[in-house]
Amino acid sequence: DIVMTQSPDSLAVSLGERATINCKSSQSVLYSSNNKNYLAWFQQKPGQPPKLLFYWASTRESGVPDRFSGSGSGTDFTLTISSLQAEDVAVYFCQQYYSTPTFGQGTKLEIK
Amino acid sequence: EVQLVESGGGLVQPGGSLRLSCAASGFTFSNYEMSWVRQAPGKGLEWVSYISSTGSTRYYADSVKGRFTISRDNAKNSLYLQMNSLRPEDTALYYCAKDGSGSGYLFHRWGQGTLVSVSS
């Protein structure tokens, strides 16, 4: 199985500041035949199911604010929130769907 | 609007069985691949099982293979997970999830989950 490792495990950022979460896969999730990275990002707030934010590493799901961005390719990926808002407090997960799906351990984002 | 509503969770003794259900609405259920994903209390996410749109193809995580069976009834817009020989480590919130990419494993929409507790 592909192992997904996120960093950091937790992160405290001031309102209006940038938050950056990293995700590394143990092998490439870039499918050469279509040049797509099979990598998704989810946001999970307490008591709620995960919500899809990005797929194909950088395609924003409908309704996701544009302060969120996804980037990276191959084995290294980043979720960035350009200006943290109070409603962004959550746990964020990356997930690969290149093969049998696996998730990162999650990054807990809090307000400093 | 896509809706997925899980049911069937509860408290069961080790070695017992449960059958989870997921009622789908707001989309053409028979066109979509579906999965079950679980989350142990305070823990991360673990994919459990996948079923193709027709039900002809099924995959399982090693941790549940031989004990769990996924199925679907497209006429009833429903997904199921038969869970046998339950273990304490199966305790989790079980979500049904709809694929959104055609790859099978992009979890585009999730239900609210149903809680399974395995304890004596």
For residue range A18-69, list pLDDT tens digits in order.
999 999 999 999 999 999 999 999 999 999 999 999 999 999 999 999 999 9
CA distance A75 to chain B (A): 18
Specify the pLDDT at position B14: 97
Confidence of residue B100 (pLDDT cuts 50, 70, 90): confident
Which residues in chain B are contacts of A93 at CB distance < 8 A?
A: 44-45
Residue B102 has pLDDT above 80, yes or no: no
**Looking at beta carbons, which pairs linking B48-55 to residues 24 or more positions away fall under 8 Å?**
B48/B81, B48/B94, B49/B81, B50/B104, B50/B105, B51/B79, B52/B104, B54/B30
Confidence of residue B104 (pLDDT cuts 50, 70, 90): confident
Specify the pLDDT at position B101: 75
Which residues in chain B are contacts of A48 at CB distance < 8 A?
A: 112
Phi/psi of residue B22, each to 5°? -135, 115
Question: How big is chain B by its Cα radius of gyration, in Å?
Answer: 13
CA distance B2 to chain A (A): 13
Specify the pLDDT at position A93: 98
Q: C-alpha distances in angstroms, A66 versus A48, A69, A104?
A: 22, 7, 23
Closest-CA residue of A relative to B44 is A105
Cβ of A103 under 8 Å from any chain B Cβ? yes
Indicate yes or no: CB of A100 within 8 angstroms of CB of B95: no
Per the rule left: phi > 0, alpha: psi between -120 and 50, beta: everything else, A110 is beta
Specify the pLDDT at position B103: 78
Phi/psi of residue A43, each to 5°? -115, 130
Higher confidence at residue B100 or residue A3? A3
Q: Which of A33, A48, A94, A95 to mutate to test the interface with B (most CBs of B within 10 A)?
A: A95
User: What does the block give as tokens for B67?
Assistant: 């004990």
Cβ of A101 under 8 Å from any chain B Cβ? yes
Which residues in chain A are contacts of B59 at CB distance < 8 A?
A: 100
Phi/psi of residue A68, each to 5°? -90, 135
- Beta carbons within 10 angstroms of residue A85's beta carbon: 12
Tell the burial category of A33 from Cβ atoms under 10 Å away from its Cβ (0-12, 13-18, 19+): exposed
Calpha distance B114→B14 (Å, rounded): 18
pLDDT in tens, A75-103: 999 999 999 999 999 999 999 999 999 99
